[in-house]
Chain A
Amino acid sequence: GESVGLHLPTLSVQEGDNSIINCAYSNSASDYFIWYKQESGKGPQFIIDIRSNMDKRQGQRVTVLLNKTVKHLSLQIAATQPGDSAVYFCAGGQGAQKLVFGQGTRLTINP
């Protein structure tokens, strides 16, 4: 089965710096990956997704990179803002219906 994990449970960055959150997955058959942001007391919110036929996808201030060779993906947040403080989850699977979520990384922004 799939397992998805994050390298670090917590990450602290200075406001304005770029943040990079990493994630590893185990199932080479996984073809869809997604990043979610969860603020305290709320449900996860979609940030960005990527399919296995892509290596990189960009959104507004966010970029997801996928390295299928080493089964690794990362989320980059540019010019981190206080509102980016949250727990970030990666999830992956075969298709979008049965995603396996990682444990999450708590991102803290220092002023």
Chain B
Amino acid sequence: DAGVIQSPRHEVTEMGQEVTLRCKPISGHNSLFWYRQTMMRGLELLIYFNNNVPIDDSGMPEDRFSAKMPNASFSTLKIQPSEPRDSAVYFCASSRKGSSTGELFFGEGSRLTVL
């Protein structure tokens, strides 16, 4: 079975550029989560969707960050303009809301470096 698929795996960009990270959740999962991981702050929840609807975006750092989920099989996280402090690994995860466990299935992450 295909897991959560993220792209790109690595991105190096210059400050001020727009960055778009992409995620395909596991088929049949109706919850999708975006996390950011840094050495200093660990894993932080940025936003999550249930049935394509954003439920909680309180973790989104600032207006430069936006996330969309136009359909059940695709989501994007956009940073515009990017800054060096946005450098991190961004994980997408999906789960089946209402399942007996809260297990999140994580993708392999997108490592972003902003110069």
Contact surface of A with B, Cβ cutoff 8 Å: 32, 34, 41-46, 49, 89, 91, 95-104
User: What are the residues of chain A within 8 A of B50 when measuring CB–CB?
Assistant: 97
Chain A interface, >50% SS class: loop
Chain B interface, >50% SS class: strand
New contact pairs (16) apart from A43-B109, A97-B48, CB-CB < 8 Å:
A32-B102, A43-B4, A43-B93, A43-B106, A43-B108, A44-B43, A44-B104, A46-B101, A49-B102, A89-B43, A91-B43, A96-B95, A97-B50, A98-B56, A100-B45, A101-B43
Q: How far is it, in angstroms, between the C-alpha of A52 and the C-alpha of B42 when the chains are bound?
A: 24
Complex contact A97–B93 (CB within 8 A): no
In the complex with contacts A43-B93, A49-B101, A104-B42, A97-B31 CB distance below 8 A: yes
A-B contact count (CB 8 A): 53
Complex contact A95–B42 (CB within 8 A): no
Q: How far is it, in angstroms, between the C-alpha of A36 and the C-alpha of B108 when the chains are bound?
A: 14
In the complex with contacts A43-B91, A43-B106, A43-B108, A98-B42 CB distance below 8 A: no
User: What are the residues of chain B within 8 A of A42 when measuring CB–CB?
Assistant: 108-109
Q: How far is it, in angstroms, between the C-alpha of A95 and the C-alpha of B55 when the chains are bound?
A: 14
User: What are the residues of chain B within 8 A of A104 when measuring CB–CB?
Assistant: 42
Complex contact A49–B45 (CB within 8 A): no
Q: Which of A44, A45, A96, A101 contacts B102 (CB 8 A)?
A: A96
